[in-house]
Amino acid sequence: MKELDVIIKQFDSPDEIKVFDKGSYETVTINNMIIGRATYEPGWKWSEHVGPLIGKDFCDVEHVGIVVSGFCTAAFPDGEVTTMKPGDIFFVPSTPHDSWVVGDEPYVSIHFLGADKYTK
């Protein structure tokens, strides 16, 4: 007897999708693991387009993911700003931070940690 069946899912048919101005966040659940895909348009900023929807000034979710396309920042109140680019595997701590798209192309990233708490 098999312990688990093979599970195949795609972001083309996410389990959940949150749509907000200039972006969306989709999640799929695989064997109790929630994986997220963030898609943001140029001009998107967390503190303007997500924070007000959930009553927060800064994101306080810990993230581990990979950038698929575009450029985005992780910016902390102490002035530290890090720009993430395609191919970067990133860890952003739960320290309150802001984020925004850099440049004029959409940003897409896949999140392996924090997807269950993002936009909540």
Go through the domains of the chain in sequence order and give each one's CATH number: 16-113 (2.60.120.10)
Look at residue 28 and tell me whether its pLDDT is greater than 70.
yes
Record the tokens describing residue 67, joined without a space.
């950038």
**Mean pLDDT of the region 37-45:** 98
Could you give the CA distance from residue 69 to residue 36 in angstroms, rounded to a whole number? Answer: 15
Our CA dihedral for 7, 118, 68, 87, rounded to 10 degrees, sits at -100
Of 42, 43, 17, residue with least CA distance to 115: 17
Q: Over the chain, what is the mean pLDDT? A: 94
**Mean pLDDT of the region 56-81:** 96
Distances (CA, A) of 55 to 11, 15, 39, 101, 120: 27, 24, 21, 21, 9
